[in-house]
A and B are shown apart, each in its own frame.
Chain A
Amino acid sequence: SAVISQKPSRDICQRGTSLTIQCQVDSQVTMMFWYRQQPGQSLTLIATANQGSEATYESGFVIDKFPISRPNLTFSTLTVSNMSPEDSSIYLCSVDVAGGGGELFFGEGSRLTVL
């Protein structure tokens, strides 16, 4: 299992600003994923962040808008850049501790509201 801490848990941001979300895991994991959950919607994968390599982004998500860092096996950050109201969502960090075993552990999410 894994315990994941995300910061901030929620924030209200102004249009045009950027916010960095931190994800801390209590164990070393190779595979880390960032998801977005818009109000009333399911989870959409933004990118896969594996330590030692560049993040891999899904269709519709680009590095300039959502830069990701993965400096070590227990930590990652996701930045939401130049925010607009459409970026208002819950952003979730998750890990696959089995390295492809399927079961994901999630943080509690970071709820961003962009005014």
Chain B
Amino acid sequence: QSVLTQPPSASGTPGQRVTISCSGGTSNIGRNIVNWYQQLPGTAPKFVVDTIDQRPSGVPDRFSASKSATSASLAISGLQSEDEGEYYCATWDDNLSGPVFGGGTKLTVL
């Protein structure tokens, strides 16, 4: 049972916009930037975007993130087949004094 709650699955067709939610509390999402990681099958996680719109070079701006109170979301527009994989939200928890992860959302491109 993860500190942050994500839906187990999400799906969309190529070209669609999909969103993935992440719910937490006042000690974590409520006070801190939320990061999103993409894990493609058989690979290590990779940072893709955070809620102050920081994105590593090479990550397209089709990936965006937002936050409101104790919830955050990842949006992927212009969905592509290569976006299929697992997505994790993560943030700092002030009570635990360390990072916390969500349970992951498996994104399927139909």
| Pairing of A with B | no
